[in-house]
Amino acid sequence: MTADRHSSVAGQPATSDTTGGIHAVPLPPGWDEAVRLDEDPATIPDPASIDVPPGLRAEIEGLMSRYPERHSAALPALAAAQRVHGWCSPEAIDQVAAVMQVTPAYLSSVATFYDMLRTQPVGSHYVYVCTSVACHLRDAKSVYEAIERQAVDQGLEDFELREFECLGACDMAPMASIDGRYVGPLSEDDALDLVGALKEGREPLPGRGLPDSGFKLPWAEGGAAPDRPGPPAEPDVHPAGGTWEDAAVLDVPPAEGPPPHPRSIPQPLDPGTSVVPDDEEDSEE
């Protein structure tokens, strides 16, 4: 599976201590890049040689007992190790391999396939913003970009922030999943609050999460749907002449002041007024 479209920005390496006794040099983050062709592939680890946190060992053993075939526990076992280590680090993989008695290579083949198993130390929590078809139709991309901007501005750490494929909540589009708690429908204005709450360890957007008691979609009781950004109703005229679209292509600065944010929709003022529209004030805060 290609991962090109999905960049993570907010996460900082959770642990970079991947230098085991067998590695002469520190490994770069992400074990799947550290291929050592001069070494033999790792074999099934000796259970006595690897220290596994007792809680994790018990959990994986419990998982294996639920299936007729112990290999079936690979996915939940890797997820359990990820909860302990923050990501599927070489250490985590070795621990699972030792308990399950499979090769680390087998587990790494599994871990690299699934989107929710992290093979990079990008943070031990996640924010997935859905940008799939149904959310795309309701302008999810700009919501993602707003959250991304806020995450960078506010320095959000230990969170994996990425665009995600359809999360199965198109009724609350555009939406995001914060460690499994679905929130929506989101607008760009929610980004500030959402990231701020995550940074302070609060629950973001209380009452607007799918599992919250009394959660209702805004239009559930015959209410009207919230406004959806459409094409600008006003003519597209740049202060320096021509259209904003042409100006963007030609890279013409506006008549005065810094260039507006490329994603904000230009709203020319009515002739004879000098009042700044409310929403522009909000976005500058």
CB of 179 to another protein, least distance (A): 8
Q: Which is nearer to another protein, 53 or 168 (CB)?
A: 168
Among the listed ranges 11-19, 37-45, 134-142, 199-207, the one in contact with another protein (CB under 8 A) is: 134-142
CB of 27 to another protein, least distance (A): 23
Q: Element (H or E) spanning 43, and its range?
A: none
Q: Map 10-38 to HEC letters.
A: CCCCCCCCCCCCCCCCCCCCCHHHCCCCC
Residue 101 touching another protein (CB under 8 A):
no
Residue 231 touching another protein (CB under 8 A):
yes
Residue 78 touching another protein (CB under 8 A):
yes
Is the previous residue joined to 174 through a cis bond, with omega within 30 degrees of 0?
yes
Residue 276 touching another protein (CB under 8 A):
no
Phi, psi of 47, deg, nearest 5: -55, -30
Question: Of 15, 103, 132, 142, which lies in the binding site for another protein, with binding defined by CB under 8 A?
Answer: 132
Residue 228 touching another protein (CB under 8 A):
yes
Question: Of 28, 53, 168, 268, which lies in the binding site for another protein, with binding defined by CB under 8 A?
Answer: 168
Residue 167 touching another protein (CB under 8 A):
yes
Residue 262 touching another protein (CB under 8 A):
no
Q: What is the C-alpha to C-alpha distance for residues 131 and 169, in angstroms, rounded to an integer?
A: 11
What residues form DSSP beta bridges with 164? 130
Residue 249 touching another protein (CB under 8 A):
yes
Shortest CA distance to 80 belongs to which of 117, 126, 127, 125?
117
Residue 241 touching another protein (CB under 8 A):
no
Residue 69 touching another protein (CB under 8 A):
yes
Please, what is the angle between helix 140-154 and helix 190-200, to 10°?
40
What residues form DSSP beta bridges with 159? 125
CB of 160 to another protein, least distance (A): 12
Structure tokens at 225: 């749907």
Q: What is the C-alpha to C-alpha distance for residues 60 and 96, in angstroms, rounded to an integer?
A: 8
**Could you tell me how far CA 37 lies from the centroid of its own chain?**
33
Interface positions with another protein (CB under 8 A)? 1-3, 5-6, 66-69, 71-76, 78-79, 109-110, 113-117, 128, 131-134, 136-138, 164-173, 177, 179-182, 210-211, 217, 219-220, 224-225, 228, 230-231, 246, 249-251
